[in-house]
Structure 1
Amino acid sequence: MPAEGAAPHGSATSVLTLADIGFAAPRALLARHGLVLVEVAAGEPIPGSYWGDSEAGVIAHEVYARVDTPVHSLLHEACHLMVAPAERRASIHTDASDSQAEEDATCYLQILLADTLAGVGRERLMADMDAWGYSFRLGSTRAWFEHDADDAREWLAARGLLPPAD
């Protein structure tokens, strides 16, 4: 989660983008969760993007992205929709965050789901999250995930949102 008032720090060349992994695997992942990945033409504005530029956007059950969209951004916005109750999901447009607990759960879930995408994985995703400017109390995404995210994991578990363990 970016620091309050912060803008994205990363650039398309420093983090993994959809140009690197393609749309097929992310599209299939989102479909398993009842979401639709909508590919936006290069250079066009991304509907529902909170941060603008190449960052993914959300509107109801659709996630919008371009080839230059960072994978961490796509997963983050998609996970916001995954954790949102069905009755709220339909009204989400651009700003999907409901609470700090939900934001933390979103970050945790995006890290877990990175392991399901070939060429991504949690290690790369956490590095990209740090490069972009996510801000955690312990200083890095990895430190938060490994030592300070029990509440996020419990939040997801209580709602049946944890993916099956390998």
Structure 2
Amino acid sequence: MDVLRMRDVGFAASRELLGRHGLHLVEVADGEAIPGSYWGEDEAGLIGLTVYARSDTPVHSLLHEASHLLVMPAERRAAVHTDATDSIEEEDATCYLQIVLADRLPGVGRERLMQDMDAWGYTFRLGSTRAWFEEDAREAMAYVDLLGLLGEPDQT
């Protein structure tokens, strides 16, 4: 499957992006199991405020797991391990935020991320990630906006 992987974009910009939001990114050695990975194999994992990824981890997976941490309430964030899903609203906000954050990663951008999400098998009732994002994500955008995640991130 031809999706952007961490080896294509490197870890530095992603580490900086997550750090601006108070999260940590840990690079896992190739061939090692990814701690906190819900789906296993090459999918990103999360434990507390830390996102784990390998060089073969899809960029969309890294952004998805980081977005889960950013949209969940702070009291849950520190204790989360592997499974971050709480509600449909939170999952939708996560998908929305990962697309927005893709614009903040050099060499990624929302267009490529949405293509990768479709290629990977994300499903939306309008048939594509782009259609959902442009035509059906108003509630997700409002959720993310309410949390103040669409402006410049806090320096923590």
TM-score normalised per structure 2: 0.95
How big is each residue's C-alpha offset from its partner over 1:5-33, in whole Å with a ceiling of 9 and x where there is no partner? xxxxxx4xx10001000000000000001
Amino acid at match of 2:97: L
Structure 2 counterpart of 1:147: 135
What is the CA distance between 1:160 and its match in structure 2?
Answer: 1.6
What is the CA distance between 1:163 and its match in structure 2?
Answer: 3.0
User: Identity of paired residues, percent?
Assistant: 71
Pick one of 64, 81, 84 that aligns with 2:52: 64
Distance 1:77 1:151 in 2: 20
Structure 1 counterpart of 2:19: 31
For structure 2, the 5+ residue unaligned runs are none
Pick one of 82, 107, 114 that aligns with 1:94: 82
Amino acid at match of 1:140: S
Amino acid at match of 1:133: G
Q: RMSD of aligned C-alpha atoms?
A: 0.8
2:61 corresponds to 1:73: yes
Aligned length: 152
How big is each residue's C-alpha offset from its partner over 1:37-58, in whole Å with a ceiling of 9 and x where there is no partner? 0000000000000111100000
2:16 corresponds to 1:21: no
Amino acid at match of 2:126: L
What is the CA distance between 1:152 and its match in structure 2?
Answer: 0.2
What is the CA distance between 1:105 and its match in structure 2?
Answer: 0.4
Which runs of 4 or more aligned residues in structure 1 lie more than 2 Å from their structure 2 counterparts after TM superposition?
Answer: none
For structure 1, the 5+ residue unaligned runs are 1-10
How big is each residue's C-alpha offset from its partner over 1:64-119, in whole Å with a ceiling of 9 and x where there is no partner? 00000000000000000011111100111111011000000000000001001110
Distance 2:86 2:64 in 1: 14
For 1:58, what is the secondary structure of its paired residue? Answer: strand
Structure 1 counterpart of 2:29: 41
For 2:94, what is the secondary structure of its paired residue? Answer: helix
Distance 1:66 1:118 in 2: 18
